[in-house]
Amino acid sequence: MKRLLIIGISFFLSACATSGDVQQLQNDVNDAKMGVYETKAAIKDLRAKVQNYDETLDAIKKSQADMLSRVDSLNSDVERLNGRLDEESHHIETSLKGINTGKDVLNSRLTALEAKVNDLQNRLSIIEAAQKEKAAEEAKKQNDPQYIYNSAMDAFNANKTKVARDKFKRILQEFPKSENAPNAQFWIGETYFKEKDYDNAILAYEDVIKNFPKSGKVAAALLKQGLSFWAIGDKKTARVDLNRVIERFPKSEEAKTARAKLREMAKKK
């Protein structure tokens, strides 16, 4: 359409103008054509740029949409995290309450235990004091000849003859002047007699007779010495001791026993 318009104008001008004017007009037309071409090129370039701008704008819009989507996603994540944070905070708060409650219970138990420990320590102090007192009393008893004698008799009655003998000997060694010394010497003989160690029994009874001639155990020592001689087969010496019992202590129980033993010996001749 534009091309036809240009041709028409050219034809009209050629009919009306001179050759110089025609040339000038031709130049102007050529310039106009060039202007049109340049304008078309510029328009094409602008359209390309506009298209690029549109593409860029679309990319920006898409990027913005993606960014908004990511922001929404991040907001959702933040909300979820806030929810979890609230849950964790509640859990921690509940746990702390439980811990505090447990702490109170433990403190209460600890107080009770401390009270018990103090009570036990007091009892222990009382027990230790009692033990010390008892130990002191025991130590005192251990140095008491009567206590030692009674302990020796308990051992003898329990058939612990060696233990008993050691205790009786201790009385003689540490308390030779005590009233229990003659009895201790006699019971040493009895421990040997019980063990059927008649030789040592004879010697122990002899110490009673020689060392404690005024004690109440002489009659018993003479009797048991005579029985010991009889046990080892020395009947002659046995008769001598038994007769001495009868002569020196005629009304004693030992004399009665000696007479009975002498009659028994007479029957066995």
CATH number, domain at 196?
A: 1.25.40.10
Residues 132 and 103 grouped into a single domain: yes
Tell me how many domains the chain contains: 2
Residues 244 and 175 grouped into a single domain: yes
Residues 157 and 260 grouped into a single domain: yes
- How far apart are alpha carbons 244 and 222 in whole angstroms? 7
Query: Which is higher by pLDDT, 223 or 131?
Result: 223
Given a cut of 90, is residue 205 above it in pLDDT?
yes
Q: What is the pLDDT of residue 81?
A: 55
Given a cut of 50, is residue 184 above it in pLDDT?
yes
Name the DSSP letter for residue 91: H
The reply to whether 4 falls in a domain is no
Name the DSSP letter for residue 96: H
Task: Over range 32-54, report the average pLDDT.
Answer: 75
Residues 234 and 147 grouped into a single domain: yes
Given a cut of 60, is residue 198 above it in pLDDT?
yes
Residues 180 and 260 grouped into a single domain: yes
Tokens of 130: 């009692």
The reply to whether 245 falls in a domain is yes
How sure is the predictor about 127, in pLDDT bands with cuts at 50, 70 and 90?
A: low
> Is the pTM of the predicted complex or chain greater than 0.85?
no
Residues 254 and 149 grouped into a single domain: yes
- Residue 168 — φ and ψ, nearest 5°? -60, -40
Give the length of the chain.
269
Cα dihedral sign, 101-103-104-109: positive
Residues 195 and 220 grouped into a single domain: yes
Burial class (CB in 10 A: 0-12, 13-18, 19+), 262: middle
Which residues span the domain enclosing 161?
A: 143-267
Asked which of 63-77, 85-99, 125-139, 237-251 is least confident by mean pLDDT, the reply is: 125-139
Tokens of 21: 């004017």
Q: Whose CA is closest to 82, among 74, 94, 72, 71?
A: 74
Residues 94 and 118 grouped into a single domain: yes
Residues 199 and 234 grouped into a single domain: yes
- How far apart are alpha carbons 255 and 243 in whole angstroms? 8
The reply to whether 42 falls in a domain is no
